[in-house]
Amino acid sequence: MKQNYAAYFPTLRSAAGRLGSAVLLAVAVAGCQNETEVLPNPGPEYYPLAVGTYRIYDVADTTWRNNAPTASRFQFREQVEAELSPDATGQPAYRVVRSRRATATDAWAVDSVLTVTVGRQTVTEQRNNRRSVELVFPVAEGKVWNINAFNAQDTIIAENRFYRNVGQPLSLTRNGKTYAYENTVTTINDVAVEANAAYTTILRTTFAAGTGPVYRVRRRFFHCDNTGTLGCNPSLNYQGQSRSEVLIESGK
């Protein structure tokens, strides 16, 4: 039975961060031969990369200022332009150019550039000199890790991202068209909801096997009144941004 992402969107919280985390390589001892065999690692198939490939996303974006929303729609294209020299550990890296246009008939304009590195244990993205851990291998339900392990946004031992719905189907509808995927995994980090009710950050990405990122959700809100009369209260929704990105086209 296919799932609708919206069905579980509001309910997940950072409590799953209490689950244990470790990045382990799975091994198996082969029968009586006393040999160690590395099991297949399905993780990288959730973020395939090849020079010349591209993905186009439909973006719905709403910015909130003083409790007043401003909505916009546009498109992002992420194109793999080059394979870079391997890093010191021999991990392949790719230069991905993200471009933006207002409508499908407009010309693309470069928005940003990121570097995606695919290792045996992780996939990382680096944008604006900040490196984040997007996937860890092997992929497993409930596995927790630190998305900021390579930057100074959190402590080294922080656990702020986890897997949900590993291997599950997903269908998304955008602009009247449905996009269906048989095998997906969703990474989630919902932070600061319990720790500080004045700040809310929700970051979620769904990856489809053989396709890559197909759905991204980002919500950042600062629940305070600029006038100083109401202070900070989780019931307020004065400042922030809500954005969703749905993959609508990919190819080479």
Q: pLDDT per residue over 69-90, tens digit each?
A: 999 999 999 999 999 987 777 8
Higher pLDDT, 44 or 185: 185
Distance separating alpha carbons of residues 12 and 147, to the nearest angstrom: 17
CA angle 196, 202, 208 (to 5 degrees): 155
Q: What is the structure's pLDDT at 227?
A: 72
Distance separating alpha carbons of residues 160 and 157, to the nearest angstrom: 10
Q: What is the structure's pLDDT at 90?
A: 81
Instruction: Determine the average pLDDT of the residues in 54-58.
Output: 98
Q: What predicted TM-score, i.e. pTM, was given to this entire model?
A: 0.79
Confidence of residue 196 (pLDDT cuts 50, 70, 90): low
Distance separating alpha carbons of residues 236 and 67, to the nearest angstrom: 8
pLDDT digits (tens, 9 = 90+) for 1-50: 445 444 444 333 333 333 333 333 333 333 434 443 444 556 789 999 99
